[in-house]
């Protein structure tokens, strides 16, 4: 049996942080399997994955990480995983139902090897989708993003979320949010990235007269619509096709492509090296 944990370290940059954290893990008998760190505007962020042979006392480890964080003056948290349990997803949605409905169907048919642990939205209109999934629905007012993100992050802790899926969630995530779940946030964007990032991608493509319209599923990073691309799909624009028809066809393709991206990620069919996704 092998115990796994994803650990995040966030706070003001200072010397010796990496050594202190890795030493603590080494003394607990852990093997550090992955580690990545960066400093942005004086703010230090580190994400690592550690493993232990045999069962792990999660309560003691969480307490130890909290004590370590206090001594460093930083936030140090661990998300613990079990190798043989079904992974848990959080769906973030706004108003468009195509993607979340497709994901719910794929989970129920076991095409996606996971369970939906919570559905989060900045609108109430898609609450029935959470009911179909048998998951709690959390409405969050995003008029104050910092406060909203604290609420959502707390919910992820409560529901022990492993993966986050932005199923056409129409809000930009802060770097502070993204780093806490590095390489664990999947998004669908309605263009063949890197073309037409940002809002109204279908309209951007339509106004430029492109002949092929597509969608991109990608890992979310701190840079908008620039994360590693997991998979893409496209269709040819018909002569004289209206923007509304392009959007309708695109939304159907978004759902299909997002489901495929989730399958690849959860079945560990890919790795990310230097910002590029590689199939394994």
Partners of 189 in beta bridges: 216
Residue at token pair 């497709």: 102
The whole-angstrom separation of Cα 70 and Cα 63 is 11
For the beta carbon of residue 278, count every other beta carbon within 10 angstroms: 10
146 is an active site residue: no
Q: Are 217 and 198 in contact (CB under 8 A)?
A: no
For the beta carbon of residue 155, count every other beta carbon within 10 angstroms: 17
Q: What are phi and psi of 189, to 5 degrees?
A: -120, 135
State the catalytic residue, choosing from 144, 225, 245, 271: 225
The whole-angstrom separation of Cα 198 and Cα 202 is 10
Q: Which residues are catalytic?
A: 225
């Amino acid at each position: 049996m092998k115990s796994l944990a994803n650990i995040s370290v966030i706070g003001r940059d200072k010397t010796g942080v990496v050594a202190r954290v890795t030493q603590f893990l080494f003394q607990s008998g852990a093997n550090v399997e992955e580690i990545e760190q960066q400093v942005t505007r004086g703010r230090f962020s580190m994400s690592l994955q550690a493993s232990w042979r045999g069962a792990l006392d999660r309560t003691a480890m969480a307490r130890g990480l909290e004590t370590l964080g206090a001594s460093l003056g930083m936030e140090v948290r661990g998300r613990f995983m079990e190798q043989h349990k079904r992974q848990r997803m959080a769906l973030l949605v706004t108003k468009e139902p195509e993607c979340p409905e497709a994901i719910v169907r794929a989970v129920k048919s076991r095409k996606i090897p996971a369970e939906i642990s919570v559905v989060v939205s900045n609108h109430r209109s898609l609450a029935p989708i959470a009911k179909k999934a048998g998951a709690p629905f959390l409405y969050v007012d995003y008029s104050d993003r910092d406060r909203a993100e604290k609420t959502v992050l707390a919910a992820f802790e409560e529901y022990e979320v492993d993966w986050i899926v932005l199923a056409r969630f129409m809000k930009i995530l802060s770097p502070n949010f993204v780093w806490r779940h590095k390489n664990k946030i999947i998004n669908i964007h309605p263009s063949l990235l890197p073309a037409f990032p940002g809002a109204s991608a279908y309209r951007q493509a339509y106004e430029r007269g492109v002949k092929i319209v597509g969608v991109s599923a990608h890992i979310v990073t701190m840079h908008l619509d620039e994360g590693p691309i997991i998979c893409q799909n496209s269709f040819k624009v018909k002569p004289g096709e209206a923007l509304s028809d392009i959007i309708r066809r695109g939304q159907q393709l978004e759902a299909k492509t997002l489901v495929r991206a989730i399958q690849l990620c959860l079945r560990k069919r890919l790795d990310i090296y230097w910002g590029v996704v590689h199939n394994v």
